[in-house]
Amino acid sequence: MCFTVAIVREGVLMTAEQYYNSLPAKIRKKKKNPIEPEIPNLYMVSGFAHPKLPVITDDEFVLKEWGLIPSWVKSKEDAFDLRDKTLNAKGETIFEKPSFSNNILSRRCLLPVSGFFEWRDFNNNKYPYFIEPTTNPGFLLGSVFDTWLDKSTGEFYDTFSIVTTPANPLMEMIHNTKKRMPLILDFEAADKWINPLSTTEEIKSIILPYDENKMKAHTISKVASNSKIDRNYSEILEVVNYPELNQQSLF
């Protein structure tokens, strides 16, 4: 599961730039020169707010709304009901689920993030963690997208969903109930992910847990657990230690 992320503008732009610069020269020349979208600083943003976040497709860098609405949805009521249920797409079943089966074949994208948040259950309490790369400025999350037309108004909705995988050992310790994590891709896998010529088997081969040695995590303020208040400020990412968790790690 991945329902809450951090989008710090400078790091996200650096991640996108590093990805484009990692591409072979021949491929880079064929891609359109990406126009930088207007990216706000979102230190902690929930998918349930359906924010517009920057995603990289095979030919553009553009804002799309989090919470995928499949093109076949009939009404606005159905569309808005479904988007709360499509913030994530389970990698193990994405090729079979009606909401995602067409998108995974031809509409794949990358969401650059500074990091993401998850909660650990310990002694009937929940402790929030911020997870980020060990060295890079951000992660590239494998995602899928679609466009839905509201025929009653003529308005188009460009939306996406983050793909998830089973947790790696670090995320098993943190997300210790569901034991899930977002699909994180290195540059080579990211290029394969959004390449429209990649085969189904090639795509399936990279839907894997990310190397835990390339990521780190720390506990943050429990304010992060209160969705009723504004959590969009830089201090939300700062380390807050909980002695009870430190004691547990001694045994």
Q: What is the mean pLDDT of residues 54-82?
A: 95
The model's confidence at residue 33, banded by pLDDT at 50, 70 and 90, is low
pLDDT at 8: 96
Domain of residue 176, CATH code: 3.90.1680.10
Q: Residue 129, Cβ neighbours under 10 Å: how many?
A: 21
pLDDT at 59: 87
CA dist., res. 23 & res. 31, Å (int): 10
CA dist., res. 128 & res. 174, Å (int): 9
CA dist., res. 215 & res. 134, Å (int): 5
Q: Into how many domains does the chain fold?
A: 1
Encode pLDDT of 88-117 as tens digits: 999 999 999 999 999 999 999 999 999 999
Query: Which of helix, strand or coil describes residue 197?
Result: coil
DSSP readout, 108-128?
EEEEEESEEEEEEEETTEEEE
The model's confidence at residue 31, banded by pLDDT at 50, 70 and 90, is low
**Average predicted confidence (pLDDT) for the chain:** 93
Q: Enter the pTM of the model.
A: 0.94
123 CB-contact burial (10 Å; exposed 0-12 / middle 13-18 / buried 19+): exposed
Structure tokens at 247: 């004691």
Q: Would the pLDDT of 250 be above 50?
A: no
For the four alpha carbons of 2, 66, 76 and 92, in that order, the dihedral sign comes to negative
- DSSP-assigned beta bridge partners for residue 78: none
Encode pLDDT of 67-76 as tens digits: 999 999 999 9
- DSSP-assigned beta bridge partners for residue 145: 160
Q: Contact, 19 vs 211, CB < 8 A?
A: no
Q: Contact, 64 vs 83, CB < 8 A?
A: no
pLDDT at 26: 54
The model's confidence at residue 121, banded by pLDDT at 50, 70 and 90, is very high
pLDDT at 57: 94
Write down the number of H helices and E strands in the chain: 8, 12
Q: With b meaning 16 or more CB within 10 Å and e meaning fewer, what string describes 142-169?
A: bbbbbebeeeeeeeebbbbbbbbbbbbe
Q: Would the pLDDT of 162 be above 70?
A: yes
How far CA 18 is from CA of 12, 66, 138, 139, 219, in Å, comes to 10, 23, 10, 11, 28
Residue-number span of the structural domain to which 145 is assigned = 4-248
Residue entry with tokens 């988007």: 83
